[in-house]
A and B are shown apart, each in its own frame.
With several copies, the nearest count.
Chain A
């Protein structure tokens, strides 16, 4: 019954939003850059020239994937660095123009915690609310804009509930007002089309390990002419904006992975949607189960459901004992002992948010995986509800 995938072994891995394995084809492209083609791209001899060309190629692959120019792509160490750089970099470089920033309540912590830190540095930040599906309302964006607003940052698609945000519309508003617009596309890329022109963005964050590339590498798209502080100081790498010897194998891997992800986009999305529908239909058969996030405007690989009366970590533990890997927004798995800020922003009460289960599909998943999960999960929910003092009588049987 269980899938036996060559990467995930006998685990049914349903946490692709947390990270993906590096595709063996991608890893293959990286390997020569660890050993033979190991030269420092800044060096002036043949062996280093190969590294430089590899960087150029990867930059082209990333640029092509999001319809940007190669000079607009800056490699970073991951999505968090890209988000931190975009937001701090634009904030400080444009402080003379104003010190107000707009973001949303459901951003990834890489954006939220950066904004909170900026508040301590004297910036003012508006955190936009979302509707019950986790969508930012464009009218709220319009209303939040002030004369001193210098940056808007709203994610393309949410990592927990998969809700896709109205980025092109927000971008249009931002552009009309001459306000920088950043989007965190870490979860979107490889799942839905990402085109910096169509999205009307000035900055866009990517992270390689979310689309079958290696961990520890990402990119920031910076539209030509944008005013942004350099991220780090040192050598002349990345046009002097982000110093440090380049992670050549990682960047090569990111390039190969994004090219593959884009070339397989439609096929992949269709596969994901099919599995998602099957999975979701099965899960919603379980009583007192709710979908979190938007029913349609969501990432094709994201399922997020809430089982009332029980707690997410215990669901994960039981799933783990059946070799199913998943995620939850329960407070009990977070260091802060607060349930997911995303579910709370969608209006779920604390005790309900506790029962969340996120299943994010990946390309290696099969219908058998879905059926296996459905078969395993129902008795788990029943057992946990049987133990819970909150479960109403009729659900205990």
Chain B
């Protein structure tokens, strides 16, 4: 297969799958080009991500990225979590094929959206996407 062992590990046995009834922040993103959808749920305690879950409709890379991304942000402050890039997700997965990098972008965007959903609910200003988020 074209995927690394790590991707296959996270694809076959994804971490943090599922819905979260009492999420503090939810972000749903989709790539219209490709028709994939990723929903990220966050449980936030004292500005720290206490729990994260995901639901994903997409390819192996999308599912593995969701799993790895949620894993990476757990226990981090919101500011730290915001800085988890798609590159970091791909690296943690021991690389993604070039045509699949956009699936990890989805994970980064999902997290950003979930964090801003939480911030808005708290009456805070949403954080700005860096223009070169890629």
Q: In the complex, how many residues of chain A place their beta carbon closer than 8 angstroms to a beta carbon of chain B?
A: 28
Shortest B95–chain A CB gap in Å is: 16
Shortest B118–chain A CB gap in Å is: 18
Contact A311 B17 (CB under 8 A): no
* Contact residue among A309, A320, A321 (Cβ-Cβ distance under 8 Å from B57): A309
Contact B11 A311 (CB under 8 A): no
Question: Contacting chain B: which of A116-124, A130-138, A164-172, A387-395?
Answer: A387-395
- Who on chain B is nearest to A332 by CB? B59
Q: Which B residues are CB-close (under 8 A) to A389?
A: 28, 37-39, 55-57
If A309-B57, A313-B59 touch, does A390 touch B37 (CB 8 Å cutoff)? Answer: yes
Chain A CB within 8 A of B58 CB: yes
If A49-B2, A387-B63, A389-B28 touch, does A332 touch B57 (CB 8 Å cutoff)? Answer: no
Segment 313-354 of A: residues with Cβ below 8 Å from B: 313-314, 317-318, 320-321, 330-333, 335, 337, 339, 350-351, 354
Contact A44 B2 (CB under 8 A): yes
If A335-B99, A387-B55, A389-B39 touch, does A314 touch B11 (CB 8 Å cutoff)? Answer: yes
Contact A314 B99 (CB under 8 A): no
If A49-B1, A388-B56 touch, does A311 touch B12 (CB 8 Å cutoff)? Answer: no
Segment 340-397 of A: residues with Cβ below 8 Å from B: 350-351, 354, 386-390
In Å, the complex CA distance between A390 and B62 comes to 15
Shortest B2–chain A CB gap in Å is: 7
Chain B CB within 8 A of A310 CB: yes
* Contact residue among B14, B35, B62 (Cβ-Cβ distance under 8 Å from A351): B35
Contact A332 B1 (CB under 8 A): no
Contact A387 B14 (CB under 8 A): yes
Contact A314 B55 (CB under 8 A): no
Number of A-B contacts (CB under 8 A): 71
* Contact residue among B8, B54, B56, B60 (Cβ-Cβ distance under 8 Å from A313): B60
- Who on chain A is nearest to B36 by CB? A311
Q: Which A residues are CB-close (under 8 A) to B122?
A: none
Shortest B99–chain A CB gap in Å is: 7
Q: Which B residues are CB-close (under 8 A) to A45?
A: 1
Shortest B16–chain A CB gap in Å is: 10
User: Which 7 residue pairs across A and B have the least CB separation, nearest first?
Assistant: A332-B59, A389-B55, A313-B59, A388-B57, A389-B39, A317-B60, A350-B35
Residues of A with Cβ closer than 8 Å to B? 44-46, 49, 309-311, 313-314, 317-318, 320-321, 330-333, 335, 337, 339, 350-351, 354, 386-390
Q: Supply 21 A–B pairs (Cβ within 8 Å), ascending by A.
A: A44-B1, A44-B2, A49-B1, A309-B57, A311-B36, A313-B59, A313-B60, A314-B60, A317-B1, A317-B3, A317-B11, A320-B1, A332-B36, A337-B33, A339-B35, A354-B57, A387-B17, A387-B57, A388-B37, A388-B57, A389-B39
